[in-house]
Chain A
Amino acid sequence: MFLQQLITGISIGGIYALLATGYSLIYSLLDFSNWAHGEFAMLGAYFAIVFANMVGLPFMLAALLGVCGGALISFLCEKLVYRHIRSTGAPNMFLMIGAMGLSTIFQQVANLVFTGQYRSFKFKLPVSTIEIAGAYLGVLDLISLVLTAVILVFLIYLINKTKFGLNVRAIACNANAARVLGVRVDRSIASVFLLAGSLAGVAGILYGMKYNVFPTMGNIGLKAFVASVVGGLGSVPGAIVGSLLLGVLETFVSGYISSSLRDFFSFALLIVLLLVKPSGLFGVDVQDKA
């Protein structure tokens, strides 16, 4: 039972992590929380639903197109909205308000186009469970866990070991200095939105397979946001650790206490952490931004 809960917790935590790392990357570059981020996951999942269930493409291809869809929407938000808000020199609060507006618009559009109906992929993964050491583990959970692990390891590699990642870290540190040293700041930011959007797309599809696809499913973005604050806003490893922590906590609360108290505990964790260590577990040196 314990192992079972733990695996489920880590697997849901992995889905949070795919979103939380996106929050963190964008926050570290632009100093604002992209409230529309959960919606990229929702739209990615709908793209996949359209291609898999309506067009009838093979599931893997439809999922890939769904991921591209999430990336595209994220990229367009940056290109058409955030970049223009930045260029007016408006305070960062405006970016956040813009993101809130986008989030509502995306939910409404999804509601209009797809109705509020819960949809599931026609493609069914083996719902069976496998037995390991007396615990029954869901195959979907395991697949989701392995996939997210691979993606996250790759993301960390990208950020820490490539020139692209170096540019991103330099911009996070001091965008103007990076600009004067020949870094194409806007281009790097756009690439990060593409990357974050595609991770959100993966998260949306995995979440949609586990539960369902519906217009307000982007609200898991809020959980991912909590996870990234717990881990330390702006830190990619922090976002991953915070997500796993939150995923496991939620599963245990649901399993051993009551599933209706799940969100209570998640947000209580957030409040306690903000009181005790406001910079989060992996808090980034905030003074460097000045």
Chain B
Amino acid sequence: MSDVIHNLSMEEKISELEGKIDYLEAKVHALESKNPVLEMQHVEKHFGGVHAIDNFSVKIEQGQIHGLIGPNGAGKTTIFNNITGIYAPDSGKIIFMGEDITGSSPHRVAQLGIGRTFQNIRLFSNLSVLENVVIASGMDATYNLPQAIFHSDRFKKREKLLNDKAMNLLEIVGLQDKANERANSLPYGHQRKLEIARAMALDPKLLLLDEPAAGMNADESLELVDFVREIRDHFKITILMIEHHMDVVSNLCDYCTVLNFGKTLAVGTPAEVKSNPEVIRAYLGGNE
């Protein structure tokens, strides 16, 4: 009898808390929509005498897909490394959801909600597909080493939650059947998807994709376009992507920025950018 009363009051408590969460989510959403998701202001990065990024600025609004394009060595991946805290910029500011993250450590940036993939896939090749995703979903693990050692209930619950969440993501990208295979045994296209699923395990608000269509043929690229759009719509995230395939960019991106030797050549919609004479010159190699 007392159990029933106890359970009821628990349920009431839960529904009350749920109400509060809805309220907070609405409030967070209101705050989010005020600020651009990512804003970079006059960011500079030198390596010795090389100006890898020269006065780079960008503003990306909630839900947009923004493309970064430019020839090799234009500084695109350096921009990603500056955002994710692998390098600190020499000057300028990087603001994420209204918070200054210039020079923050990589794990801090990940915690705040920026996920990324790499140009050359960097999966944990010896770990299973599932473990690759679990890694990123457990940053907020709220048990410590002694609890893990003594296998406390809290620890078991956390581990189960992490596994469920990772399996859920694998289902979304269609890799649930491969969960226990080693990551490096997957075919190339699946490895790309796994890398995206792994980044999504951070619950990111911003996803950085570094040449997701690299090494794909036209059909695979088309499939990727649909896949990225699905991910964006399903998780309501914002995406900044580096891409060389112009058909992918035209299909996916709302806006794009064209870089050449660290300098910004043009900003605009894919159609605007494609007809920009400076861009054409940089890509087709006109005479200086």
Contact = CB atoms under 8 A, between A and B. Distances in A.
A181 B115 CA distance: 7
A182 B126 contact: no
B110 A181 contact: yes
A163 B125 contact: no
B86 A163 contact: no
B124 A169 contact: yes
A182 B202 contact: yes
Interface of B: 84, 86, 106-107, 109-111, 115-116, 118, 122-127, 131, 134-136, 138-139, 141, 145, 148-149, 155, 158-159, 162, 198-199, 201-202
Given A170-B124, A170-B127, A173-B126, A162 B148 contact: yes
Interface stretch (A2-10, A40-48, A183-191, A200-208): A183-191
A162 B124 CA distance: 16
Contacts of B111: 182
A180 B115 CA distance: 7
Contact of B145 (A164, A173, A284): A164
B110 A180 contact: yes
A185 B201 CA distance: 18
Contacts of B202: 181-182
Contacts of A185: 107
Nearest to A178: B135
Contacts of A182: 107, 110-111, 136, 139, 202
A131 interface: no
Contacts of A288: 125-126
Contacts of A191: 145
A97 interface: no
Contact of A163 (B115, B122, B141): B141
A285 B127 CA distance: 12
Interface residues of A, number: 25
Contacts of B86: 176, 179-180
B162 A163 contact: yes
25 contacts: A158-B148, A163-B148, A164-B145, A167-B135, A170-B124, A173-B124, A173-B125, A176-B106, A176-B122, A178-B124, A178-B135, A179-B106, A179-B107, A180-B86, A180-B106, A180-B116, A181-B199, A181-B201, A182-B139, A182-B202, A183-B107, A184-B107, A185-B107, A191-B145, A285-B125
Given A174-B124, A181-B136, 7 more contacts: A162-B159, A163-B159, A169-B126, A170-B131, A181-B115, A181-B201, A182-B136
Interface string A26-58: 000000000000000000000000000000000
A177 interface: yes
A166 B110 contact: no
Interface string A64-93: 000000000000000000000000000000
A166 B134 contact: yes
A212 B95 CA distance: 61
A163 B159 CA distance: 8
A180 B119 CA distance: 14
A181 B135 contact: yes
B134 A163 contact: yes
Nearest to A174: B122
A193 B201 CA distance: 28
Interface string A136-172: 0000000000000000001000100011101101100
Given A173-B124, A177-B118, A183 B139 contact: yes
Nearest to B199: A181
A183 to B, nearest CB: 6
A7 B248 CA distance: 66
A166 B125 contact: no
Given A163-B141, A184-B107, A177 B131 contact: no
Residue with the highest number of chain A CB atoms closer than 10 Å, among B110, B116, B155: B110
A264 to B, nearest CB: 36
A182 B84 CA distance: 10
Nearest to B108: A182
B136 A169 contact: no
Given A163-B159, A176-B86, A183-B139, A169 B127 contact: yes
A177 B124 contact: yes
A78 B138 CA distance: 25
Nearest to B138: A163
Contact of B127 (A154, A158, A166): A166
A167 B136 CA distance: 9
Contacts of B109: 180
Contacts of A164: 145, 148
